[in-house]
Amino acid sequence: MVPSVHDRRESPTVDPTTHRKVETFLAEGMSGGTSPWQANPGGSIVDVFQKCKEFTRVSDAREAGYYLYYREIESPQDPVVTMNGQKVVMLGSMNYLGLTSHPKVKEAAIRATEKYGTGCAGSRLLNGTLDIHVHLEERLARFMNREAALVFSTGYGVNVGVLSCLLGRRDVALLDSMDHASILDGVRLSFAKQLKFRHNEPGDLEKKLGLIDPEKGILIAVEGVYSMEGDVAPLPEIVQLKKKYGARLFLDEAHSLGVFGEHGRGVAEHFGVEDEVDLVMGTFSKSLATVGGFIVGTDEVIDFIKHNARAQIFTAAIPPGAVAAVEAALDIIESEPERRDQLWENTEYMRVELEGLGFETCGSQSPIISLLVGEDGATLHMAKRLQEEGVFVNPVMTPAVPVGHSMIRTSYMATHTREQLDQALGALAKVGRELSII
């Protein structure tokens, strides 16, 4: 649960000059406060590039030494990465099962690249479908216990493509208020009416469902695990409501695939409600060690998506190396469940230790553990200090979270050693105390 504004901590201590610089950086949002339709004094519309000139937020951040985006990593996404020649413990990766460097996964990608080359030079619909794409789709359908699967070039493309083609003007999309940008973008492109319910609150979902004209088609779209705070959707309650109101349910298992459920199929498997979820999407960019994504459902619905989703039809096919990497990652997920156990052991160790140190872990129930800081400036400062202390974390700030709820997001891998986790804990304790967060 997001702590309410009332439990917010006192703003941690940051020196005033730093605070001012950071505040300037954060004052106007990512667009620098510039409207894309800014009129000049004469009243006409200025050059479309004018906003770029006025976009000083990033240069302010660079100048203040607080630019923490597009950080360059010189090594694989392993538990320890190299940055500026220095070793840094990685607590900011979604490589949950640690498979991006697994020899079998790399070998499979190399072999496929040798056989098929580096790309497909076209869309799946026309020239870009390989036998290994079809094989992977059959495998994913079997793995997820569904009639059919369709592979996309990105997870983002799955949500945009599927939602925009399934929803029409006469439909209503009911979204959790913390749903990922790709879900929002898919709905926006669809012309459907959009209603949001309060994050993980089935009571509010029911209230919103009650407002919808029964003549409308309704799709509820939720995530298994939410990527900001690592909390889990109350799927059994959502499923009850979906049935009561005759809605369809779309579930994004990006962060739960390979992590939750006896076989790693995600949160729907964990709760035993897979049969009640109409469509499940997953990405290849987290537990499945590469890039791409998929949707699973019935033959009929997947065939419709295959021939109507513009994010599938009008983009190039996922490359052969990535397809083969997913197959190899699935082999490992199926044959080595102990990896998932190790991931949970690392996660539980860190949750207990972090809470013991006094961090507020924002209701995390997954390998994403976010630490409440409060203000954006202090959050940025904490992320920067942690990097100086040899730990990579992601600052999560407004508008991704409500004002006053900025957090340091940490995430864990099966391959983190206890020594690496302890090193990170030492740095988190030091910087947390320095900033009076603990």
Ligand X SMILES: Cc1ncc(COP(=O)(O)O)c(C=O)c1O
Does 95 engage in binding with ligand X (CB under 6 A)? no
Q: Is 164 in the site for ligand X (CB under 6 A)?
A: no
Considering only the stretches 21-29, 152-160, 366-374, 377-385, report the one whose residues sit in contact with ligand X under the rule CB under 6 A.
Answer: 152-160
Size of the site for ligand X (CB under 6 A): 14
- The answer for 116, left when phi > 0, alpha when psi is -120 to 50, beta otherwise, is alpha
* Listed residue (112, 119, 233, 217) closest to 174, CA to CA: 217
Burial class (CB in 10 A: 0-12, 13-18, 19+), 418: exposed
Which of 100, 200, 227, 366 contacts ligand X by CB under 6 A? 227
CB of 140 to ligand X, least distance (A): 15
Least distance (Å) between residue 74 CB and ligand X? 22
Least Å distance, CB 397 to ligand X, is 16
Beta-carbon-side half-sphere exposure of residue 413 (alpha carbons within 13 Å): 25
What is the nearest approach in angstroms of ligand X to the Cβ of residue 227? 4
Q: Is the Cβ of residue 171 or residue 223 nearer to ligand X in the bound state?
A: 223
Nearer to ligand X, 254 or 435 (CB): 254
By CB under 6 A, name the one of 93, 95, 100, 154 that touches ligand X: 154
Beta carbons of 358 and 396 less than 8 angstroms apart: no
Number of helices and strands (H, E) in the chain?
16, 13
- If one asks whether residue 392 binds ligand X (CB under 6 A), the answer comes out as no
Among 12, 79, 98, 155, binds ligand X (CB under 6 A): 155
**Which residue do the tokens 């590039």 mark?**
49
Report helix, strand or coil for 260. coil
Nearest to 297 by CA among 202, 177, 165: 165
**Taking a C-beta distance cutoff of 8 angstroms, is the pair 413, 286 a contact?**
no
Distance CA(436)–CA(432), nearest Å, equals 6
Residue 74 burial class via C-beta count within 10 angstroms: exposed 0-12, middle 13-18, buried 19 and up: exposed
Q: How far apart are CA 244 and CA 230, in angstroms?
A: 28
Span from 112-120, 195-203, 248-256, 397-405 in contact with ligand X (CB under 6 A) = 248-256
The answer to the question of residue 285 lying near ligand X (CB under 6 A) is: yes
Q: Choose between 155 and 202: whose C-beta lies nearer to ligand X.
A: 155
Question: Which of 95, 100, 190, 283 is close enough to bind ligand X by CB under 6 A?
Answer: 283
Task: Mark whether 411 is an active-site residue.
Answer: no
307 counts as catalytic: no
Among the listed residues 146, 180, 381, 405, the single contact to ligand X using CB under 6 A: 180
> Which residues between 293 and 322 bind ligand X (CB under 6 A)?
293
Beta bridge partners of 1: none
Stretch that binds ligand X, among 8-16, 18-26, 237-245, 247-255 (CB under 6 A): 247-255
Of 25 and 284, which has the nearer Cβ to ligand X? 284
Q: Which of 137, 171, 223, 375 binds ligand X (CB under 6 A)?
A: 223
CB atoms within 10 A of CB 8: 15
- Pick left, alpha or beta for residue 118 (phi over 0 → left; psi -120 to 50 → alpha; otherwise beta): alpha
Residue entry with tokens 């695939």: 257
Which residue has the CB atom at the shortest distance from ligand X? Answer: 155
Between 51 and 188, whose beta carbon lies closer to ligand X?
188
For 193, left (φ over 0), alpha (ψ -120 to 50), or beta?
Answer: beta
3-state secondary structure of 83: strand
Residue of 93, 227, 285, 287 marked catalytic:
227
159 part of the interface to ligand X, by CB under 6 A: yes
Residue 227: active-site member: yes
Residues designated as active site: 227, 255, 286
Residues near ligand X, by CB under 6 A: 154-156, 159, 180, 182, 223, 227, 252, 254-255, 283, 285, 293
